[in-house]
Amino acid sequence: MTLIPLLLLALVATMAFTALGSFGTIQEGAKAELDLSDDALALIQGLGAAVPMVLFSIPIGILVDRRNRVRLTIGLAALWTAGTLLTAFAPSAAWLTAARMLVGIGSTGSLTAALSLCADFCAPGERGRAMLIVNLGKAFGVALGFALTGWLFGLLSDTAAFPWLSGFAPWRGTHVLLGLMSAVLILPLLFLREPARGEVESKAGAPFRVVAGELWARKAFLLPLFGGQIAVVMVDVAATVWVAPVLSRDFGLRPQEFAGWVGALMFGTGVAGAILGGLSADWGQRSGRRGGILIGATIAAGLGVPAALFPLMPGVTSFAVMLGLLSMCGAVTGLVVSVALTVLLPNELRGLCIGAFIAIAGLVGFGLAPWIVTRVSAFMGGESMLAEALAFVGVIVSSLSLCAFLLAMRRAPQPVR
């Protein structure tokens, strides 16, 4: 296992997911300035991320399987950086949606490339631990999306720490700073080198119909696997999008009052989930049991059912405990599924498969999940019922994910040699 390249990939994941989650933390500021409704916010963060994922994830996955992945990652990093800066200057909801689309393409596309690269920087039996490093970067990025964004927002709201940003609303100035940080921190990618590809069944540049045929032959396993993880993504995305409004509306907290501890919570539980997921994936491989690599994901999916009730907790402490459990379960399933795809599929299918998953997850998870919550809350009585709607949707979808992972375990193929 080569540590330095894995650390660079972890840096990619950190910056990508900081950019992806930054707007959600301070969306109430944009809502007030641009006079947006909850439906508009759901569209900006939901379809704004889902449409580019659906349109670009599969083509990016094919490029990951056939082209230089390091150069592709650098281009995608430049894309999410541009989207972050455009967020700061967006004059309307339409421009804001376009900006978040660029961030969505760059951040999720770079994850596909990073996972493929990670698999070739280590042996199959080490992939749980190797992907643990990359997922720690992702967890740190999710945490910074809350903590760093909230801290910068508070700094720009309460002081004149950055006089040159005095003409910007705090949420806009925050994204200017995040974009500049991203531009600097992605420079080490220029020193990363493309590794050799291993575990290939079809020759390089095989016709797409050959690759698609290999993928279709594994549909009995991939469909429930995708279904289980997409359901987890739906719950996680809905929680990430609506946690800030719930804390503001139901608990009376301002972004600078909760962003720090929510970010720390997301990071801590993301780290714990990545560790548990990586260790359980490697242990599951050694167990010799069919589908053993998915044991950790199945257990986590089951724990996610009661954890989805976090919006209905009576106090901030119990809210945080249940939200943390949900976050940890999502981190476990995400890492285990990533390892399973790199162990149970040949190299030429990984980018395409991950890209297809991101496309479907983008449409259903990012595109529909936040909107479904607003529709359910409207049915229950309006925006004041946001917490109840979030809990209801979370419990139902989490239950479906558990059933799907159980089925995927039964249909898992043998590892690729």
Per-range mean pLDDT, top range of 16-20, 255-259, 265-269: 16-20
Share of the chain above pLDDT 90, in %: 22
Nearest C-alpha neighbor of 68 from the set 207, 189, 231: 189
Residue 194 lies in a domain: no
What is residue 211's predicted lDDT score, i.e. its pLDDT?
67
206 vs 3, residue with greater confidence:
3
Residue 74 lies in a domain: yes
Residue 334 lies in a domain: yes
Does pLDDT of 48 surpass 70? no
Burial of 140 (0-12, 13-18, 19+ CB in 10 A): buried
Does pLDDT of 299 surpass 90? yes
Full-model pTM? 0.69
Distance set, CA 147 to CA 141, 143, 152, 388 (Å): 10, 6, 9, 25
Domain that holds residue 10: 3-188+213-411
**Which of these ranges, 118-122, 308-312, 396-400, 405-409, has the smallest mean pLDDT?**
118-122
Residue 193 lies in a domain: no
Does pLDDT of 323 surpass 90? yes
Q: How many CA atoms lie within 13 A of 3 on its CB side?
A: 0
Residue 345 lies in a domain: yes
What is residue 306's predicted lDDT score, i.e. its pLDDT?
95
Residue 10 lies in a domain: yes
The structure tokens listed for 310 are: 């976090």
Residue 203 lies in a domain: no
Residue 197 lies in a domain: no
| Count of beta carbons in the 10 Å neighbourhood of residue 303 | 16
**DSSP string for 258-322:** HHHHHHHHHHHHHHHHHHHHHHHHHHHHHH--TTGGGHHHHHHHHHHHHHTTGGG-SSHHHHHHH
Report the CATH number at residue 146.
1.20.1250.20
Please give the tally of structural domains in the chain.
1
